[in-house]
């Protein structure tokens, strides 16, 4: 069972030498194998066959992710796949294209399968005009069957919506809203070119609450230029006063080789590993003291949240959108750059907007991967460790018909220093992250990643800590 949160050691308890020792670059494991392993040369018919095969599996729900890449302006920290400078006209063409793509998916996957999750992310989904948003969601409802208790979430840029837009989202059935906040300090907001007056956020949250709507997430970020312990403490205090049900506290991922605009933050001074860890540690402490529980690597939720129950029963899982309680869904990504994860396959869509608009309705995949049995085994291990900090070796051996010690002798060797550093506990039956180990979970999972070997991680992945 997880330790009571009040006594749980946090990032501030990590000895400096451990921070130094494990500060490296590595994946966030939203998939395994990770996206750099997806291949431009892939056998499309093989992947289509695998997709169709899932229709024969009983009770196999769907999860739909729609990527809306558009933003009005670019926030300088942003590492997401975004497009600036497009008009409402282009957005209109784009939703028509996504609906064509959805139609094609419905000819491959049985559209009668229940959609248990719908997520709109970006970019900025609320870039769409109200009537475009309505057309999109209603168009999907005509093509798929949504489960009555489907989770419908959307990322909302609080700078760009008003109460009427939120009402529209509620009327369309969205039942979880994530606001991008990052930091409430005026100076930090200025540095990253994203100015959001606190009052605006408070009004939107109050408006939702006035409708009895409480499933509100706030995204925050530490590691930005200008953040100090004092400013960030104040931001966290204000966020606690707003009282969202979930908080994502992301470490700023500096990946200028993917997002060159991030370079402009370098001259403002980015915090060191130690400074980042202090910002995270102080926020961690404040959030726990305010009654939030730590979930996964960087999420916090109220104790009554279903994520906490999933963590306690070790059934928490993760997909491209973040942590979730719903396991075993086939995830279909629609829109530019979206990734689908269906059974033992990954596919990634066209990233070029013009090409996507032209292709949608026919094949939009530019990369694909059919997982090997070894990939499937390692994906299971990484997912369990990453989400639940726990791996049941007996269950794994039975399920995959293997001797863990023999099969993973090399990996056990890689884990040994982490065991000595009290980051994890291992015996014949299990591997368990210890209290401080969860802050190094990327490092722990990397031991099971078969593809990290010779590649240059510095220019590919963000920092693990």
Ligand X SMILES: C[S@@+](CC[C@H](N)C(=O)[O-])C[C@H]1O[C@@H](n2cnc3c(N)ncnc32)[C@H](O)[C@@H]1O
User: Which residue in 78, 1, 6 sits closest to 293, CA to CA?
Assistant: 6
- Is residue 333 at the binding interface for ligand X, with CB under 6 A as the rule? no
- Are 325 and 306 spatial neighbours (Cβ–Cβ below 8 Å)? yes
Q: Which of 65, 77, 440, 461 binds ligand X (CB under 6 A)?
A: 77
* Closest to ligand SF4 by CB, 180 or 322: 180
- Is residue 381 at the binding interface for ligand X, with CB under 6 A as the rule? no
CB-based closest residue to ligand X: 180
Please choose which of ligand SF4, ligand X, none residue 274 contacts, taking the beta carbon within 5 to 8 angstroms, the exact cut-off set by kind: none
- Is residue 82 at the binding interface for ligand SF4, with CB under 6 A as the rule? yes
Shortest approach of ligand SF4 to residue 255 CB, angstroms? 13
- Is residue 461 at the binding interface for ligand X, with CB under 6 A as the rule? no
Shortest approach of ligand SF4 to residue 78 CB, angstroms? 3
Residues 6+ apart with CB under 8 A from 121: 65, 66, 67, 68, 154, 155, 321
CA dihedral 280, 283, 288, 294 (to 10 degrees): -40
- Are 384 and 395 spatial neighbours (Cβ–Cβ below 8 Å)? no
**Stretch in the footprint of ligand SF4 (CB under 6 A) among 10-18, 77-85, 277-285, 454-462:** 77-85
- Are 117 and 329 spatial neighbours (Cβ–Cβ below 8 Å)? yes
User: Which residue in 143, 384, 416, 84 sits closest to 261, CA to CA?
Assistant: 84
User: Which residue in 220, 224, 158, 247 sits closest to 195, CA to CA?
Assistant: 158
Torsion 141-54-41-447 (CA) sign: positive
One symbol per residue from 195 to 234: x for binding ligand X (CB under 6 A), - otherwise; what is it? ------------------------x-x-------------
Q: Which of 29, 38, 146, 250 binds ligand X (CB under 6 A)?
A: 250
- Is residue 408 at the binding interface for ligand X, with CB under 6 A as the rule? no
- Is residue 124 at the binding interface for ligand SF4, with CB under 6 A as the rule? yes
Report CA Rg, the chain: 22
Partners of residue 64 on adjacent β-strands: 118, 332
* Rounded (5°) CA angle 354-160-96: 30
Shortest approach of ligand X to residue 135 CB, angstroms? 20
Q: Which of 8, 21, 52, 74 binds ligand SF4 (CB under 6 A)?
A: 74
- Are 239 and 201 spatial neighbours (Cβ–Cβ below 8 Å)? no
- Is residue 2 at the binding interface for ligand X, with CB under 6 A as the rule? no
Residues in touch with ligand X (CB under 6 A):
71, 77-80, 121-124, 155, 157, 180, 182, 219, 221, 250, 252-253
Residues in touch with ligand SF4 (CB under 6 A):
71, 74-75, 78, 80, 82, 122-124, 157, 180
């Amino acid at each position: 069972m997880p330790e009571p949160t009040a006594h749980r050691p946090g990032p501030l308890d990590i000895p400096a030498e451990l921070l130094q020792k494990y500060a490296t670059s590595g994946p966030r494991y939203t998939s395994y194998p990770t996206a750099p392993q997806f291949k431009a040369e892939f056998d499309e018919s093989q992947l289509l066959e695998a997709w169709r095969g899932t229709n024969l599996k009983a009770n196999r729900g769907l999860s739909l992710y729609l990527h809306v890449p558009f933003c009005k302006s670019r926030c300088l920290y942003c590492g997401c796949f975004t497009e600036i400078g497009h008009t409402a006209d282009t957005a209109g063409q784009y939703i028509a294209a996504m609906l064509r793509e959805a139609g094609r998916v419905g000819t491959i996957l049985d559209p009668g399968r229940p959609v248990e999750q719908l997520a709109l992310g970006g970019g900025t989904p609320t870039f769409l005009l109200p009537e475009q948003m309505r057309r999109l969601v209603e168009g999907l409802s005509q093509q798929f069957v949504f489960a009555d208790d489907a989770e419908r979430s959307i990322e909302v840029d609080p700078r760009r919506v008003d109460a009427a837009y939120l009402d529209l989202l509620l009327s369309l059935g969205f039942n979880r809203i994530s606001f991008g906040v990052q930091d409430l300090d005026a100076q930090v907001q200025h540095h990253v070119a994203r100015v959001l007056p606190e009052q605006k956020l408070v009004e939107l949250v109050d408006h939702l609450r006035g409708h009895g709507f409480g499933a509100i997430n706030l995204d925050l970020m530490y590691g930005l230029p200008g953040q100090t312990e004092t400013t960030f403490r104040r931001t966290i205090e204000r966020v606690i006063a707003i009282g969202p049900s979930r908080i994502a506290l992301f470490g700023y991922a500096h990946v200028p080789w993917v997002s060159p605009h991030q370079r402009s933050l370098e001259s403002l001074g980015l915090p060191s590993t130690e400074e980042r860890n202090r910002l995270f540690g102080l926020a961690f402490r404040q959030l726990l003291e305010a009654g939030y529980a730590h979930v996964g690597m960087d999420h916090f939720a109220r104790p009554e949240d279903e994520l906490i129950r999933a963590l306690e029963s070790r059934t928490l899982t993760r997909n491209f959108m973040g942590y979730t309680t719903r396991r075993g869904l086939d995830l279909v990504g629609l829109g530019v750059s979206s990734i689908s994860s269906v059974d033992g396959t990954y596919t990634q869509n066209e990233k070029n907007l013009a090409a996507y608009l032209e292709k949608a309705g026919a094949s939009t995949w530019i990369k694909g991967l059919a997982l090997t049995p070894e990939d499937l085994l390692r994906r299971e291990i990484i997912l369990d460790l990453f989400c639940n900090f726990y791996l049941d070796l007996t269950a794994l051996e039975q399920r995959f018909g293997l001797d863990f010690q023999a099969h993973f002798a090399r990996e056990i060797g890689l884990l040994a220093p982490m065991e000595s550093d009290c980051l994890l506990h291992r015996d014949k039956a299990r591997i368990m992250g210890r209290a401080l180990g969860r802050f190094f979970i990327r490092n722990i999972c990397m031991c099971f990643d078969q593809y990290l070997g010779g590649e240059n991680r510095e220019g590919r992945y963000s920092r693990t800590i």
